[in-house]
Amino acid sequence: DTGVSQDPRHKITKRGQNVTFRCDPISEHNRLYWYRQTLGQGPEFLTYFQNEAQLEKSRLLSDRFSAERPKGSFSTLEIQRTEQGDSAMYLCASSSTGGARVKYFGPGTRLTVT
Amino acid sequence: AQTVTQSQPEMSVQEAETVTLSCTYDTSESDYYLFWYKQPPSRQMILVIRQEAYKQQNATENRFSVNFQKAAKSFSLKISDSQLGDAAMYFCAYRVNNNDMRFGAGTRLTVKP
């Protein structure tokens, strides 16, 4: 198993454009999480899936953000009409269901909105 | 609200010495999990150590150990025999039975050769 992967690793976009990020979790993990991390801060929870169901969303996840996990495997996070305040590292993590549900993180996608 | 506070934005330690990173949290829950994650520069976050709140014994993983004081809501990380590869951002995190893991702002650890 190669761990959690994310694509792209870096994205530069102009304000107002739409962007989409992809996350591939560890194959046997049925939970998948999205976090946002700004410079000098810890990650902030955005949303999580159990299999294909999106079970929880943070108030940080505005209407311009949408996440999907259509087949319970990979997930996408789309940001519509990007704003400069969306510039951040977007982290994906996966975990199993039981116990401590230790999260394994991907390398992140760094978004820069110009 | 559940919050996690790391009061030391930066710490430094001499190679082979011991360093302790502080973390406090605020919760009304009795059952929860605590974690320390390490994020090396430009690399992904990895789990260092975890502690279940119902366990009184402090967790240990090789050179890493915690001092968990439940009444004081304190969860510090001790790194013994520090190595150059320990240099990273360290995040303390807290989770109850939902999936909203809360992270502190992090402590940047520098290891001096």
* A101 contacts in chain B (CB < 8 Å): 33, 95, 99
Average pLDDT value for chain B: 92
Is the pLDDT score of B24 beyond 60?
Answer: yes
Q: Closest Cα of chain A to B5: distance in Å?
A: 11
Q: Is A44 on the interface with B (CB under 8 A)?
A: yes
Arithmetic mean of pLDDT, B101-113: 94
Arithmetic mean of pLDDT, A98-103: 78
Is residue B19 a contact partner of residue B78, using CB atoms and an 8 Å limit? yes
pLDDT-derived band at A6 (thresholds 50, 70, 90) equals: very high
pLDDT digits (tens, 9 = 90+) for A41-85: 899 999 999 999 999 888 888 899 999 999 889 999 999 999 999
Closest alpha carbon within chain A to B41: A107
pLDDT value at position B16? 97
